[in-house]
Structure 1
Amino acid sequence: MKIAIIGAGAAGIIAAITAKRLNKNLHIDLFDANKGIGKKILASGNGRCNISNNQITSKNYLGENPDFTSFALKEFDFKAFEKFCKSIGLLLDIKPSGKVYPLSNEAKSVTNLLELALQELGVNIYLESMITDIEKVEDKFNITTKDNEYKAYDKVLISNGLGAAPQLNANESGLDFASKFGHSFNPTYPSLVGLKTDNTYNGKLQGVKKECNVSLYVNGNLEQEIFGDVLFTSYGVSGFAILDISQLAVLNLSQYQDVKIAINFFPKINRNDLGDQIQTLFKTIPSQKAVDIITGMVSNKIAPVLLDICKINIDTKAADINAKQIKALAYQLNQWKLKITDTQGFGHAEASGGGVRTAEVDNKTYESKLVKNLYFAGEVLDIVGNRGGFNLQFAWASGYLVGKSLGK
């Protein structure tokens, strides 16, 4: 039996290894547009490779139907993943947060071991091979690249992801191929990405970083709250809390909803107590400028912007700040609202949302319900995970199930 796998990422690699282990007589050709396999694996975790997470449920995913992931995550749970890693010689470092890294703390060791496993099993790897077309003639598939044509495949797996990280040759050709075979897909959007805001003072706050509580509002309704790092940038906001909240924010933004976030700089202090603390500071040093005193609480970049938003003159002395203005300052620090207008785009996104509709794919075999012997796995499907190894774990799990199907 002859099989083509489009995309040598996590899903495509584990599908090839699993299938070959089950049936050594399979002929498997693995195609990738890059010069090496697993480019997104290499990029994960800032090069340290956040390869998985040991605390995963379907609630860690977004999509039209996140429960679609349940069977795969159960069949290929963390214990199964750990066993697979040991089978290729890869030992893991499991952090208290649930994040999982290679014990070597180096992503390259992961791709090296995966490549050795592929080579040992006799999987044919075609690098720098961008697929331009897939067609089915009777019951066989033909694959076309820029320079060659590969014919008569019995089965094809599309696992070449979506548009996140175009600098790694990421693209949405998988959706084009899916559409050609009658599949529909939900609009794609960048996920785990910095957010652009419509404020004129963005540049003035560039570089300010603080642990804050971030609340997401969609059409005025509170949808999510996350605590973590917030980094102000020239375009808006980033940082771990923003990346996390961006998933739901951008999903709603892509559906033309009104999306805002509110940043609480002092989540452990309620608004009234914060106001009392500001008032006490002002009374202690009444002859000093209010803007200078506030820098004892927040960054010196935030202080003048804060006063401007609260319509307080930059030269106002602490003694001249009235109770109403103190209340306004406390409110702003407790609820710094920002309207989200856009994202940094796919070039800065860690993952892509949207993709091939899961209703058209079997959740146990990942075979197309529309075209026999056509399979999908990983990011090309309308499933996107939280930050922290969840996207890679779905890629491993979905690819594993495809591999079992291909190996039969």
Structure 2
Amino acid sequence: MKIAIIGCGAAGIMAAITAKRLNKNLQIDMFDANKGIGKKILASGNGRCNISNSKITSKNFIGENPDFVNFALKEFDFKAFEKFCKSIGLLLDEKESGKVYPLSNEAKSVTNLLELALKNLDVNVYLEHFIKDIEKVEDKFVVKTHEFEYKNYDKVLISNGLGAAPQLNANESGLDFASKFGHSYNPTYPSLVGLQTDNNYNGKLQGVKKECLVSLFVNNNLEQEIFGDVLFTSYGVSGFAILDISQLAVLNLSSYQDVKIAINFFPKINKNDLSDQIQSLLKTVPNQRVVDILTGMVSNKIAPVLLDICKINLDTKANEINAKQIKAIAYQLNQWKMKVVDTQGFAHAEASGGGVRTVEVDNKTYESKLVKNLYFAGEVLDIVGNRGGFNLHFAWASGYLVGKSLAK
């Protein structure tokens, strides 16, 4: 039996290794546009490779039907993944947070061992091969590049991801192939990405970083709250808390909802207590400018912008400010609202949302319900995980189930 796998990422590699281990008689040909396998694996975790997460559930995913992942997570849980890693000689380092890294702390060791496993199983890997078309002639598939045609495939797996990180040759050709075979897909959008806001002061706050509570409002309704790092940038905001909240923010933004975020600089202090603390601070140095005094609480970049938003003159002294103005400062620090207007795009996104509709794919075999012997796995499907190794784990798990199906 002859099998073609489009994409040498985590899902495709796992499918190839699993299938070939179960059936040595398979001929498996893998195709990838890059010069090496697992380019997104290499890029994950800032080069350290956040390879999985030991605390994974379907709640860590969004999409049209997040429950689609349940069977894959049950069949290929973290223990199963750990066992697979040991089988290729890879030891893992599980952090208290649930994040999992290779013990070597280096992504290259992961791709090296996967490459060796593919080689030992006689899997054919065709690199720098951009697939432009896939056809089905009678009951066989034909895979086409610009120069060559590869024929007589019994089964085909589309696992070449979506558009996040185009600098790594990421593209949405998988959706084109799916559409050609009658599949529909949900619109794609950048996920785990910085957010552009409509404020006129963005450049003034560039480089300010602080742990804050970030609240997401969709059509003025509170939808989510996340605590973590916030980094102010020239275009808006980034940082871990923003990347996390971006998933739901951008999903709603893509359907033209009104999306705002509110940043609470002091989440452990309510605005009344914060107001009292500011008032007490101002009383200690009545003849100093308020803007200078506030730098004892917030960044010296934030203080002048804060007063500008509250319509307080920068030369105002502590003994000149009134109670209403102090409350306005406290309120702003507790709920610094910004309207989200765009993202930093696919080039800066860690993952893509949207993709092939899961209602058209079998959740146990990952075979198309529309075309026999056509399979999908990984990011090309309308499933996207939270930051922290969840996306890679879904790629491994879906690839594992496909591999079992390909072997039969």
TM-score category, normalised to shorter length: over 0.9
Partners of 2:70 and 2:358 in 1: CA distance: 12
CA distance in 2, matches of 1:184, 1:207: 42
Q: 3-state DSSP class of the match of 2:174?
A: helix
Aligned to 2:198: 198
The CA deviation string for residues 308-336 of structure 1, in whole angstroms up to 9 with x for no partner, is 00000000001101000000000000000
Match of residue 394 from structure 1 = 394
**Aligned amino acid, residue 286 of structure 2:** P
Q: Which whole-Å CA distance do the structure 1 matches of 2:292 and 2:29 have between them?
A: 66
- Does residue 75 (structure 1) correspond to residue 75 (structure 2)? The answer is yes
Matches within 5 A, 1:357-372: 357-372=357-372
Deviation string, structure 1 residues 45-74 (Cα, Å, up to 9, x no partner): 000000000000001000000000000000
* 1:100-119 mapped onto 2 (5 Å cutoff): 100-119=100-119
Question: Take 2:276 and 2:346, find their aligned partners in 1: how far apart are those partners?
Answer: 44
* Aligned residue number for residue 143 of structure 1: 143
Secondary structure of the equivalent of 1:135?
Answer: strand
Deviation per CA, 1:262-318: give whole Å up to 9, x if none.
000000111100000000011100000000000000000000000000000000001
> 1:210 Cα deviation (Å)?
0.1
Distance 1:74 1:342 in 2: 36
How far is 1:206 from its partner? 0.1
- Whole-Å Cα distance in 1 between the matches of residues 8 and 319 of structure 2? 66
Q: Any idea what the Cα deviations from partners look like across 1:177-207, whole Å, max 9, x if unmatched?
A: 0000000000000000000000000000000
Amino acid at match of 1:183: H
Q: Distance in 1 between matches of 2:196 and 2:386?
A: 20
1:163-178 equivalence runs, <5 A: 163-178=163-178
Identity of aligned residues (%): 87
Match of 1:58, as an amino acid? S
Deviation at 1:133, TM superposition (A): 0.2
For residues 287 and 147 of structure 2, the distance between their equivalents in structure 1, rounded to whole angstroms, comes to: 76
1:348 match:
348
Partners of 1:204 and 1:396 lie apart in 2 by 43
Runs of 4+ in 1 over 4 A off after TM superposition: none
1:330 alignment partner in structure 2: 330
Could you tell me how far apart the structure 1 residues matched to 2:321 and 2:401 are? 65
Alignment partner, residue 21 of structure 1: 21
The secondary structure found in structure 1 opposite 2:359 is helix
Q: Which residue number corresponds to residue 11 of structure 2?
A: 11
Cα separation, 1, equivalents of 2:315 and 2:256: 41
Work out the CA distance in 1 between the residues paired with 2:286 and 2:164: 53
Following superposition, the deviation at residue 216 of structure 1 comes to 0.2
Gaps of 5+ in 1: none
Provide the aligned length of Structure 1 versus Structure 2: 408
The one-character-per-residue Cα deviations of 1:197-244 (angstroms, maximum 9, x if unpaired) are 000000000000000000000000000000000000000000000000
TM-score by length of structure 1 reads 1.00
Listed as ranges, the matches of 1:204-283 within 5 Å are 204-283=204-283
| Distance in 2 separating the partners of 1:109 and 1:339 | 42
Q: What does residue 120 of structure 2 align with? A: 120
Unaligned runs of 5+ in 2: none
Deviation of 1:176 (Å): 0.1
Which residue of 2 is the match for residue 179 of structure 1? 179
So what's the TM-score if we normalise by structure 2?
1.00
State the distance in 2 between where 1:307 and 1:257 align: 30
Distance 1:381 1:60 in 2: 15
Q: Shift in Å at residue 147 of structure 1?
A: 1.6
Deviates more, 1:166-175 or 1:142-151: 142-151
Q: Distance in 1 between matches of 2:147 and 2:205?
A: 50
What is the aligned partner in structure 2 of residue 36 from structure 1? 36
The letter of the residue matching 1:157 is L
